[in-house]
Amino acid sequence: MTTAWRESVLLLICAMLDAQLISPHPEIDDYQGKSSKEIRNLLEQGDQENGFDDDIIWYVMHFNGTEKLLDLLRKLDLNEWAVIDAELSLPLGKALAEMNVVEL
């Protein structure tokens, strides 16, 4: 059974994958090139082919920001460590909403 927080994380991961803002970590070859639906299935059901249940997949599957994400953060001056303590960025929220990642 998927908990509410897990479902929310899955929705965000899939939206970020579909918007090409993140991708599976490049050192995990088995997950490269998979669609967001395939990634969602792995996170929900595990990777039976490689013997990993869904809880293990939650711990081993990592994502990297893409160049598209980095370009967006640079454009909005959000690519510095100092912004980690900043208020939420309305321009970032609007950009993510335009990409169907979040709703405003």
- Nearest C-alpha neighbor of 24 from the set 11, 8, 7, 42: 42
Q: Are 20 and 12 in contact (CB under 8 A)?
A: no
Which pTM was predicted? Answer: 0.88
pLDDT at 26: 80
Residues in the chain with pLDDT values less than 70: 1-2
> What Å distances lie between residue 11 and 82, 98, 102, CA to CA?
28, 16, 9
Rg (CA), the chain: 15
pLDDT at 18: 97
Q: Are 92 and 76 in contact (CB under 8 A)?
A: yes
pLDDT at 29: 72
Backbone angles phi, psi at 29, to 5 degrees: -55, -35
